[in-house]
Structure 1
Amino acid sequence: MRVEVWSDINCPWCYIGKARFEKALERFPHRADVEVVHRSFELDPRSPAEARPVVPLIAAKYGISLEQAEAAEAGIAANARAEGLDYLSEGRDAANSFDMHRLLHFAAEHGRQAQLLDALYRANFAEEGSAFADGRLLELAVEAGLDGGAAAAVLADPAAYAEAVREDEATASAMGATGVPFYVFDRRLGVSGAQPSATFTAALEQAWESRVAVPLLVEAGGAGASGEACGPEGCELPQR
């Protein structure tokens, strides 16, 4: 069974959702028969390459004060830490993620996609300094086990893997995805948002037990479940 996950490195709920999904997958009896493929989704393709502080961006997007934006970041941080993740709620920044997605496709060809994705999330959400600083992406590629020269060549060529990124985004749009994280099980069952691990467990079981051709179904989760997500208009903020 194949699980495709559409996400963006700028999306904190993708970072959190990945941890929740992996906890469910670890307990899944057929784990060895599940292939996880990460797909590209840019929350803001028009975002500039220059990194900008996250808190003012949140305040401007939602029309809230800087203090409220800081509180929102702290709330997301609390959700991350509840999953055992490190999260810097102060001093983070954001920028255009297109080169990251291109490099993730390159990494997939060399069997290092999962390692690079983890490195990107860690650099963006858990480590001091910017994941978007000059030269940092190449450093992360090498840390993930990729050849530095080959990775540098990909980054130097704006066309390299660009079409692969666009194809992922077009597929997500065709499936009705308007935000991320977005999980698709064998192109039959879709789950939207950073759902609780129990919801992912149910989705894995349902997809495994119903391996017949049926229309794609996008679910928000079980009764009472909250699947936080990020979309073009911003990331869902924790309830105060």
Structure 2
Amino acid sequence: MQVEFWADVICPWCYIGKARFEQALAGFEHRAEITVVHRAFELDPGRATVEPVQEMLAAKFGPRAGEMEDSVAQLARDAGLEYRLDREVGNTFDVHRLLHLAGERGLQQEVLNAVLHANFAEARSLFTVESLSEIAAEAGLDPADVKAVLDDPAAYADEVRADEKRARDLGVTGVPFVVLDNRLAVAGAQPAELFEKALNQAWEA
């Protein structure tokens, strides 16, 4: 059974939601027969600059930003995740292109996990060629393949846009968004128990 997981790599709710889903999957009787596929979603596709996440949140939410981020950080820790507040935000299109390369190489989840850990747990930049290349190579991608993709703006661009078009067609306006067996959808970073229930429902349908 295929599970499609729409997410952006700078989205804290996707980071938390993925951990909760994986907790549910770990206890699922048929987990060996589940294939999880990352689908691209950009929270801010028009973004052309890189800035500290705290500055972005302050501009968007004002005085509430710090309290909101502290609350998300606690939820991340509750899910067993490390969560740094000194991260950056930027355009994630290139990261999603590399995740499609990783999918072709059978390393998509490994690279996705490495990217999420680098961003949220280590506050490493995803927005320079050097840093992104390092992270991808550490996860097992061939550095020559990574360079070829990052040097060619058209590489896997259509695949990323196809993911995003499908999300629009499904009416997705936020992430994470999970589609199980093309028949059941779960929106948001739901508790592991709800993901477990969805896995069972989709399997039995």
Could you say whether these structures have the same fold, taking a TM-score greater than 0.5 normalized by the shorter chain as the test?
yes
The AA in structure 1 aligned to 2:65 is: A
Structure 1-normalised TM-score? Answer: 0.83
Partners of 1:132 and 1:106 lie apart in 2 by 17
1:70 maps onto 2:89 in alignment? no
CA deviations on 1:192-232 (whole Å, 9 max, x unpaired) are: 0000000000000100111xxxxxxxxxxxxxxxxxxxxxx
**Superposed displacement of residue 134, structure 1:** 4.3
SS in 2 for 1:190: strand
Which structure is larger by alpha-carbon Rg, 1 or 2? 1
The AA in structure 2 aligned to 1:124 is: N
Contact 2:88 2:123 in 1 (8 A): no
Percent same amino acid at aligned positions?
54
**Superposed displacement of residue 58, structure 1:** 1.0
Contact 1:19 1:83 in 2 (8 A): yes
Partners of 1:139 and 1:209 lie apart in 2 by 42
1:111 aligned residue (106, 111, 124): 106
Within 5 Å, give how 1:1-240 maps onto structure 2. Answer: 1-48=1-48, 50-62=49-61, 64-65=62-63, 68-89=64-85, 91-210=86-205
Q: Between Structure 1 and Structure 2, how many residues are aligned?
A: 205
Contact 2:179 2:185 in 1 (8 A): yes
Partners of 1:128 and 1:194 lie apart in 2 by 21
SS in 1 for 2:81: coil
Q: Gaps spanning 5+ residues in structure 2: where?
A: none
Q: Say what the alpha-carbon RMSD is for the aligned residues.
A: 1.0
Partners of 1:38 and 1:52 lie apart in 2 by 25
Partners of 1:133 and 1:39 lie apart in 2 by 22
Higher relative contact order at CA 8 Å, sep ≥6: structure 1 or structure 2? 2
**Superposed displacement of residue 133, structure 1:** 3.5
Contact 1:13 1:194 in 2 (8 A): yes
SS in 2 for 1:130: coil
Structure 2-normalised TM-score? Answer: 0.97
Partners of 2:162 and 2:76 lie apart in 1 by 30
Q: Gaps spanning 5+ residues in structure 1: where?
A: 211-240
Contact 1:181 1:192 in 2 (8 A): yes
Contact 1:56 1:69 in 2 (8 A): no
